[in-house]
């Protein structure tokens, strides 16, 4: 009889694809089950771990990044290995993983953006906010993009926390940015920025704004920019008022109060102005005659009840916002994973509590998802902890029920040989620790948390030295 999977004779072998918060929380939950013998391999496309903590969290929010300390502890466990610079779907295929692991959990996030679907979206200086974020955070895939910051007026479509991050980065002074780990090239470009007016555009009202209170409050505390809201747009429409009075949600009441206070502020001599607008939707990005953004046509919205939600409905009232650049910040979107089913509209892998559902609706044995590719691009970093917990519960229930993938080569050495053969330039966790030390060292002289390596070649060269 073959030994039980999860016993010391036959440890459970798990591959986690991706190394962002969702991936590390999955590993952390697995390790908490000390009754199981297991070993986990984390496979990451880039040489650096931590996904959106490194490439999504804003550089002026260093405190949020300290979550990596918990992840470092996870990575240091003897039964956890990190294989960086390994692209699952290109270097290593799902069938390769099936040959070596009992369970494979994809935590690949949501790597692209949602589109607005309006004319002019592809003009020069119309960008997805997600690309700007990846650029200023030094993501190797986005480092070569250019953003023309010689313009004076910029609109950001959407009022979620990503829109807030983009607005803040555009409004920060060079001195503030120089204390962060923003990519060097972005620091230089933003130092020369001529942007003076930034607009954030919400299609619904203040009560429905997706940003969270600490994030919006911070917009009112910037040394280099005033913040304002048109008084009539800070005021609630009758339906929102009724809803807010009925629900009495403290967070929403606070949010409204913050925005009303912004609406009362006077303009000071700060060089930049950030304006939060509500109940407006972009209907067309206008051409400046040379193929670039020359304005943004907006329609005023009214809110209508739609079940328990309030939905924006266009009125006849239109205006043109005189902006020369547009960031579309209306959400991230997942990309398909080779050989797995995919829900195009939602941008997720269909699943039931983390168990991937095949095209016939039945769970695919041994294959799981966690994080944004599982539930869509919502929630803060901590949200991924409970989300990962749910996936791990499913994984362990399946181990107990004997529903695992049953690989022909479960030995951990066999997986290491496969990966090293197919990715000779794989990066270990020890390698990453060296890169980390080098980055921190480069930052020290300039009083910065770190100066990031932003290209894979640069990282591999540094490791070769």
Which residues in this chain contact ligand NAP in the complex, by CB under 6 A? 116, 157-163, 165, 202-204, 208, 210, 215, 281, 329-332, 377-380
User: Each residue of 197-219: b (16+ CB within 10 Å) or e?
Assistant: bbbbbbbbbbbbbbbeeebbeeb
Residue number, 47 or 377, with CB nearest to ligand NAP: 377
- According to DSSP, residue 34 is labeled T
Residue number, 13 or 203, with CB nearest to ligand NAP: 203
What is the nearest approach in angstroms of ligand NAP to the Cβ of residue 410? Answer: 37
What is the nearest approach in angstroms of ligand NAP to the Cβ of residue 419? Answer: 31
Per 3-state DSSP, the chain is made up of helix, strand and coil in percentages (nearest 5) of 35, 25, 40
What is the nearest approach in angstroms of ligand NAP to the Cβ of residue 203? Answer: 4
What is the nearest approach in angstroms of ligand NAP to the Cβ of residue 258? Answer: 15
Cα separation, 39 vs 263, in Å, equals 55
Residue number, 84 or 282, with CB nearest to ligand NAP: 282
- According to DSSP, residue 379 is labeled S
What is the nearest approach in angstroms of ligand NAP to the Cβ of residue 278? Answer: 10
Cα separation, 383 vs 45, in Å, equals 23
Residue number, 158 or 407, with CB nearest to ligand NAP: 158
Q: Which residues pair with 83 in a beta bridge?
A: 43
Instruction: Answer yes or no: are the C-beta atoms of 153 and 320 closer than 8 Å.
Output: no
338 φ, ψ (degrees, to nearest 5): -50, 135
Residue number, 116 or 373, with CB nearest to ligand NAP: 116
Residue number, 84 or 377, with CB nearest to ligand NAP: 377
Residue number, 91 or 233, with CB nearest to ligand NAP: 233
Q: Which pair of tokens denotes residue 440?
A: 């921190």
What is the nearest approach in angstroms of ligand NAP to the Cβ of residue 122? Answer: 16
The 3-class secondary structure across 73-103, one letter per residue, is HHHCCCCEEEEECCCECCCECHHHHHCCCCE
Residue number, 158 or 363, with CB nearest to ligand NAP: 158
Residue number, 61 or 90, with CB nearest to ligand NAP: 61
Q: Which residues pair with 304 in a beta bridge?
A: 311
CB atoms within 10 A of CB 246: 8
What is the nearest approach in angstroms of ligand NAP to the Cβ of residue 214? Answer: 8
Q: Closest residue (Cβ) to ligand NAP?
A: 160
The helix/strand count (H/E) of the chain reads as 18, 18
Q: Which pair of tokens denotes residue 68?
A: 């990596």
What is the nearest approach in angstroms of ligand NAP to the Cβ of residue 69? Answer: 18
Cα separation, 427 vs 421, in Å, equals 13
CA distances from 31 to 25, 34, 355, 380, 405 (A): 10, 6, 19, 23, 20
Alpha-helical regions (H) of 11-154 = 21-32, 51-55, 62-65, 68-75, 94-98, 129-136
What is the nearest approach in angstroms of ligand NAP to the Cβ of residue 275? Answer: 16
């Amino acid at each position: 009889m073959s030994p039980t999977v999860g016993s010391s004779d036959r440890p459970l072998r798990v591959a986690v694809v991706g190394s962002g918060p969702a991936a590390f929380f999955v590993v952390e939950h697995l390790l908490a089950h000390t009754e199981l013998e297991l070993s986990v391999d984390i496979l990451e496309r880039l040489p650096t771990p931590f996904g959106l903590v490194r490439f999504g969290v804003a550089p002026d929010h260093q405190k949020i990044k300290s979550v990596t300390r918990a992840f470092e502890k996870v990575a240091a466990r003897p039964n956890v290995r990190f294989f960086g610079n390994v692209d699952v779907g290109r270097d290593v295929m799902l069938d390769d993983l099936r040959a070596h692991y009992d369970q494979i959990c994809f935590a690949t996030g949501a790597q692209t953006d949602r589109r607005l679907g309006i004319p002019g979206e592809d003009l020069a200086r119309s960008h997805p906010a997600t690309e700007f974020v990846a650029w200023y955070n030094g993501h190797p895939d986005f480092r070569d993009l250019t953003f023309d910051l010689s313009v004076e007026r910029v609109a950001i479509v959407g009022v979620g926390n990503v829109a807030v991050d983009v607005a803040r980065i555009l409004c920060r002074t060079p001195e503030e940015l120089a204390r962060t780990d923003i990519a060097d090239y972005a620091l230089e470009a933003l130092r020369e920025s001529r942007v003076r007016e930034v607009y954030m555009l919400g299609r619904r009202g203040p009560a429905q704004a997706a940003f969270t209170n600490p994030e919006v409050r911070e917009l009112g505390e910037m040394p280099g920019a005033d913040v304002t809201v048109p008084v009539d747009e800070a005021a609630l429409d009758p339906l929102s008022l009724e809803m807010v009075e009925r629900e009495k949600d403290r967070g929403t009441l606070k949010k409204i109060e913050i925005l009303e206070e912004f609406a009362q502020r006077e303009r000071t001599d700060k060089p930049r102005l950030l304006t939060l607008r509500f109940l407006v939707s972009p209907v067309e990005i206008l051409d400046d005659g040379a193929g670039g953004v020359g304005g943004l046509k907006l329609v005023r919205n009214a809110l209508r009840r739609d079940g328990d939600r309030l939905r924006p409905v266009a009125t006849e009232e239109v205006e043109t916002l005189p902006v020369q650049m547009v960031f579309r910040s209306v959400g991230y979107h997942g990309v398909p994973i080779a050989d797995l089913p995919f829900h195009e509209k939602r941008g997720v892998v269909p699943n039931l509590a983390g168990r991937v559902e095949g095209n016939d609706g039945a769970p695919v044995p041994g294959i799981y998802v966690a994080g944004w590719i599982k539930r869509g691009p919502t929630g803060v970093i901590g949200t991924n902890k409970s989300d990962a917990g749910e996936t791990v519960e499913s994984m362990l229930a399946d181990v107990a029920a004997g529903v695992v993938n049953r690989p022909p080569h479960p030995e951990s050495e066999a997986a290491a040989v496969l990966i090293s053969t197919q990715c000779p330039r794989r990066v270990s966790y020890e390698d990453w620790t060296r890169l980390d030390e080098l980055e921190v060292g480069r930052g020290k002289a300039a009083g910065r948390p770190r100066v990031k390596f932003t290209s894979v070649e640069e990282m591999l060269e540094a490791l070769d030295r």
